[in-house]
Amino acid sequence: MLQAKVQGVSESLEQGAGKRVLIVEDEPDIAELLSLHLSDLGVSCKQVGNGLQALQLAQAEHWDLLMLDIRLPGIDGLEVCRRLRSAGATVPILLLTAKSAELDRVLGLEVGADDYVTKPFSVMEVMARVRAIFRRVALDQGRAAEPAEMTVGNLHICTTRRQVQVGGQTIELTPREFDLLAFFAASPGTVYRRAQLLDQVWGYGHDGYEHTVNSHINRLRRKLQQNSADPDYIVTVWGVGYKFNDNLESEYVA
């Protein structure tokens, strides 16, 4: 038991060692609490409480994670997220939202946030989410290379440029939406449960967060085709999960 606990602490420290996190929170007590616990993972933190300052720092320096409160002076967290994604930034973003602000959470995912936690939050939950994001990034880096280009029906995916076209028209995807689509397209016909997608694409498999998968897939379907109620690409396998349609003509280039 002791050995397992020591190993768990060691793995947590290894995940956070050398990582840089920008905490964007205008309540100093909350920012200091997050910083204190992140330091236990070996993470280096910087705290800012203004949206404009956060945007400038996020664009000027390398960060492994942005912890971004939505309600901020200057510009709000949703606008910070939107501007970063519009500029092509792929840094993981974890939103801090009010428990009652469901619309803000939905909009945050729409503009490219990776995940969210609601206030008042459990520090243990926040740290679990942070570790999960670090694991997911490590999985992405260590995963076998996906085909550089994939053409399935009218859909063309270029993983090196992270570009997607449907019928020759480029469509805009958030970083997580692109990761999800590329993961599905690399293994057509393979059925994935929501928990498996959380593990493989998000980097965690906590019970109760399957709605994150559902919301991303629904938005992705709407972007890929007009009639998302009858999806061509990511199809539902009732009672199990989702798969990428393997009945379409496809071509994969390494």
pLDDT tens digits for range 78-115: 999 999 998 888 899 999 988 667 777 778 888 888 88
Q: Give dist(CA 69, CA 162) in Å, integer.
A: 28
- Among residues 6, 5, 95, 89, which one has the least CA distance to residue 51? 95
**Topology of the domain comprising 2-141:** Rossmann fold (3.40.50)
30 — pLDDT class (breaks 50, 70, 90): very high
Of 1.10.10.10, 3.10.310.70, 3.30.1330.10, 3.40.47.10, the CATH number of 149-253 is 1.10.10.10
Look at residue 251 and tell me whether its pLDDT is greater than 70. no
Range(s) of the chain covered by CATH 3.40.50.2300: 2-141
SS3 151: strand
Tens of pLDDT along 54-73?
999 999 999 999 999 999 99
Q: Can you give the pLDDT at residue 11?
A: 46
Q: State how far the alpha carbon of 2 is from the alpha carbons of 9, 10, 42, 138, in Å.
A: 11, 12, 21, 26
pTM higher than the cut 0.75:
no
Tens of pLDDT along 133-190?
888 777 666 554 556 788 888 899 998 888 999 999 999 888 888 889 999 998 889 9
Residue 175 near residue 90 (C-beta atoms within 8 A): yes
